[in-house]
Structure 1
Amino acid sequence: MGKRLRDPVHGLIVFEDTDPLKVDMLAWQLIDTQEFQRLRRIRQLGVSEFTFPGAVHSRFSHSIGVFHTARSLVKVIERELSRHGPAFEPEKARAVLLAALLHDLGHGPFSHTFEGVQEARGVRKRHEQWTADIIRNPAGGIRPLLDEGEGGRPGLAEEVASLLEKEDPEDIYHAVVSSSFDADRLDYLRRDKLMTGTGAGGIDFDWLVENLRVADIESDAPDGAGEGTRRVPTFCLHKKAMPAAEQFLLARLTLHQQVYFHKATRCVEHMVSKLLRAIADHAGKKAGAPKLTGLLSGHPLLRFFAKGGDTVENYLALDDAVILGSLDAMCSAEDGIIADTAKRIRDRRLYKTLDLAEFGEDQGMQRSKLRRIKSTFADKLKREDVLIDEKASVGIYAEIGGDEERMHKKLHILDGENPVEISQLSRLVEALETKMQFIRLYFRDVTDRDAARK
């Protein structure tokens, strides 16, 4: 008897105890681990609920959706390899399905915002590396199941972790978790559209999957291997799916413009970043950190940000619920910045936004205006009473925290037998290749924002 659950995007998701790859029951056991259950407390869209009240879905539901979608992609691989070879490899398929399920284990609270806080502190460890560490952890619940549990095998944990760390594809199985058409984006595009309630961002999923093919493309040489290209297999689309492919890329573009880069959402992200950096500064010095931050001694944030505290155990103790549930305590912090910022986030009293696009789309004029504002508000920028956001850009291949310039992350269409990057065939995509940059400032004091507008 298998297991099943209902999902708002995919409907009934079934875990069969007789599935041919013998992966479903192992996946179900992995879902029951503490590491995976933690994803219930990590929001898929971070602070987007401040803008879109329905966007409270978790990385838990998303990860299960990615696993479900990955099964469809593995069937495509099996179908295509039966036509053209080489032979389908069930063990590689099992590993990539498990990698799809576990791909988000390493996300911290507020996801990419937390990565940005760490990077500002000189720690450049992305969530993919945390995921691999969690999978490899001998004291955790994941590795024993993969290496020793029913359906597992020795070395499977390392294989899954390595798959998620790799930036450069080696075979078609890797395309399931890292390509222009991977299971991750095929789930989040539909899930985020549904949960935010936006009318934009629809894709013709069934038609796209029906027209998926496998072909070799010229890809960048692996990191550290010198210059040049090599040929790797990846997912491509039959030419008759061109309109659906264009819509697929437009869906990503519009979701970035309207949801992920929404000005209010970005404002909250910067405020959360300011709050966490202030806490990290005190935690690193230890003396007086509880009173200064309002947090109890031994709080997960203080443990993690303390010198040498960035262990897997301390990282797993952090989630959105821990931080949101601590806002009341932070409101009593002796550090005025922490107290004020925590109160503002708790009560949704956000900084006021100035989008330089208000002055026109000319980039030169926007930069000139930005220089004047930086000069006028230099002291307040230093104190972070004014926050600046000039790293947000979006194009047809835009992806937060991504590496979309890599060739295997671009969408290819079969022109006859030859895979061609879609912008060479579609005038619509070609016109949208140039990235649009957003430059915004967030003012603690509304009078400062109004003065900057003049």
Structure 2
Amino acid sequence: MTNIVGKLEEEKVFKDPVHRYIHVRDQLIWELVGTREFQRLRRIRQLGTTYVTFHGAEHTRFNHSLGVYEIMRRIIDNFNGREHWDESERLVCLSAALLHDIGHGPFSHSFEKVFHTDHEEWTRRIILGNTEINKVLRKVSEEFPKKVSNVIAKTYSNKLVVSLISSQIDADRMDYLQRDAYYTGVSYGHFDMERILRVMRPTEEQAVFKQSGMHAVEDYIMSRYQMYWQVYFHPVTRSAEVILSKILHRAKYLYQQNHQFKQAPTHFYSLFNEKLSLEDYLKLDEAIIMYYFQIWQDEEDRILSDLCVRFNDRKLFKYVEFDPSKQWNEWPKLIDLFKQAAIDPEYYLVIDSSSDLPYDFYRPGEEGERIPIFLLTPNSDLRELSRESDVVEAISGKKRTDHKLYFPLDVLDDETEHGELKRQIKAILFK
């Protein structure tokens, strides 16, 4: 019988463009990679609709999950033998790192908003449910799946372990910043990870960083800041997300109205009925979604058909800046003009907001409070990062929010119908 907690007879190696090599030495990790639930991640892009803006962004959750595992493996190797590190937590850490994104659905966050799903909740259901992953994890012990699930839920008793997978500087973020920068072709997400790993030290509560490595940590924080505003919140990507969300909303609405689809959207039935089983969820991937988007281009419903053509052919909505504090009084008038011009504002006039808090210090009792990053001084004191770094202090606790108003400019430019109304709309939008 194979010893699931033992080492492989021969190390397995994945070639990787970010980390060069990903090393698998444990039988447990190798078997987890081979499960159907983990292989499903090959069919889910890491960055959703970002590929319509940055054409190289075709990488998957599979790539990223292996990368997070590899960073965690390196962290553990560096921690081995140090005070506060318990080597018996090794397999829990590696498993949680590998499986942290296993519950993501197709076009992750857009999908979640429409159907009110939570990828972290689905991750725990996959780990604890009747799945190949659960069967592999239970080979370690009956309680092992629950341990891995608790790490991802941030309820695990060992806070150090939780911090390695979920904190303001963790294995997850360190991989996706570099990986997303590589595949989008931008320079913002690069930082000196090797230096950060060398100066990382375990404590009872969390990982901290030697003060001598502060500049590498600063670089990481600024890389994250730049990636969010230059890549993750790119307005063109958000336009594609808006259309994607509206397609799913429209399809759900039509189903609820007993619309007769030319081809029954059977894969969506449990979603539309809000009775999504684990097996149904695991059958959903981006190939399925794109198949229906192709089919729905020929639907009789004009809105669903138009939105699918726009998404598939990259005929995206245009956008203008929108300041709710100054322009909110114009919103009812815009909606009314759209309706008069026979353009449904529910689907063709959309405010999209993005916000980010690049780094935060400790705010006890506040909702969503973040554990700060600590620097370890030569005399073993801990100092919060923003108190030592002028660069980080300048952006600490400062939440930046961006609002855009999306609409189909091509429809407004076509003045063969409702020309005067469309001119009034454009006068408001572009004043």
Q: 1:431 maps to which residue?
A: 394
Q: 1:397 maps to which residue?
A: 359
- 1:376 corresponds to 2:340: no
Q: 2:77 maps to which residue?
A: 75
Query: Deviation string for 1:391-439 (max 9, x for gaps)?
Result: x1123239xxxx995332x322224423222112222112112122101
User: After the TM superposition, which residues 24-423 of structure 1 pair with which residues of structure 2 at under 5 Å, given as runs?
Assistant: 24-81=26-83, 85=84, 88-90=86-88, 92-119=89-116, 125-138=117-130, 140-148=131-139, 152-166=140-154, 170-215=158-203, 233-284=205-256, 287-288=258-259, 290-291=260-261, 294-298=262-266, 300-308=267-275, 310-356=276-322, 366-379=323-336, 380=338, 382-390=345-353, 392-397=354-359, 405-408=368-371, 410-415=372-377, 416-423=379-386
Please list every run of 5 or more consecutive structure 1 residues that lacks an aligned counterpart in the other structure.
17-23, 120-124, 217-232, 357-365
Q: Which amino acid aligns with 1:12?
A: Y
Secondary structure, aligned partner of 2:15: strand
- The 8 Å contact of residues 35 and 141 in structure 1, kept in 2 or not, is answered as yes
TM-superposed CA distance for 1:445, in Å, is 3.1
Q: 2:406 aligns with which of 442, 446, 450?
A: 442
- The 8 Å contact of residues 55 and 195 in structure 1, kept in 2 or not, is answered as yes
Aligned partners of 1:234, 1:301: CA distance in 2, in Å?
A: 42
| Corresponding residue pairs, total | 396
Aligned partners of 2:161, 2:325: CA distance in 1, in Å?
A: 48
- The 8 Å contact of residues 265 and 292 in structure 2, kept in 1 or not, is answered as no
Aligned partners of 2:298, 2:76: CA distance in 1, in Å?
A: 52
Superposed CA RMSD in Å reads 2.2
Aligned partners of 1:234, 1:134: CA distance in 2, in Å?
A: 27
Q: 2:416 maps to which residue?
A: none
Aligned partners of 2:299, 2:403: CA distance in 1, in Å?
A: 32
Secondary structure, aligned partner of 1:56: coil
Cα separation, partners in 2 of 1:240 and 1:375, compared to 1, 3 Å: same
TM-superposed CA distance for 1:368, in Å, is 4.3
Query: Deviation string for 1:277-326 (max 9, x for gaps)?
Result: 122233445x33x51xx54352x123332242x11111111111111122
- The 8 Å contact of residues 106 and 132 in structure 1, kept in 2 or not, is answered as yes
| TM-score with structure 2 setting the length | 0.86
TM-superposed CA distance for 1:236, in Å, is 1.1
Q: 1:360 maps to which residue?
A: none
Cα separation, partners in 2 of 1:169 and 1:442, compared to 1, 3 Å: farther
Aligned partners of 1:383, 1:451: CA distance in 2, in Å?
A: 18
TM-superposed CA distance for 1:89, in Å, is 3.6
Secondary structure, aligned partner of 2:80: helix
Secondary structure, aligned partner of 1:43: coil
- The 8 Å contact of residues 77 and 172 in structure 1, kept in 2 or not, is answered as no
Q: 1:6 maps to which residue?
A: 15
Secondary structure, aligned partner of 1:432: coil
Aligned partners of 2:249, 2:74: CA distance in 1, in Å?
A: 42
- The 8 Å contact of residues 171 and 234 in structure 1, kept in 2 or not, is answered as yes
TM-superposed CA distance for 1:215, in Å, is 3.3
Q: 1:19 maps to which residue?
A: none
TM-superposed CA distance for 1:117, in Å, is 1.2
Identity of paired residues, percent? 33
| TM-score with structure 1 setting the length | 0.82
Q: Which amino acid aligns with 1:182?
A: D
Aligned partners of 1:116, 1:49: CA distance in 2, in Å?
A: 20
- The 8 Å contact of residues 237 and 413 in structure 1, kept in 2 or not, is answered as yes
Query: Deviation string for 1:150-169 (max 9, x for gaps)?
Result: xx222211211122122687
Aligned partners of 1:68, 1:44: CA distance in 2, in Å?
A: 17
Aligned partners of 2:100, 2:150: CA distance in 1, in Å?
A: 11
Aligned partners of 2:171, 2:60: CA distance in 1, in Å?
A: 17
Please list every run of 5 or more consecutive structure 2 residues that lacks an aligned counterpart in the other structure.
1-9, 339-343, 361-365, 413-424
Query: Deviation string for 1:78-125 (max 9, x for gaps)?
Result: 2432xxx4x6242x2211210110111100111111111123xxxxx4
TM-superposed CA distance for 1:377, in Å, is 1.1
TM-superposed CA distance for 1:382, in Å, is 4.4
Query: Deviation string for 1:163-202 (max 9, x for gaps)?
Result: 2122687431222211222111111011001000012121
Secondary structure, aligned partner of 1:325: helix
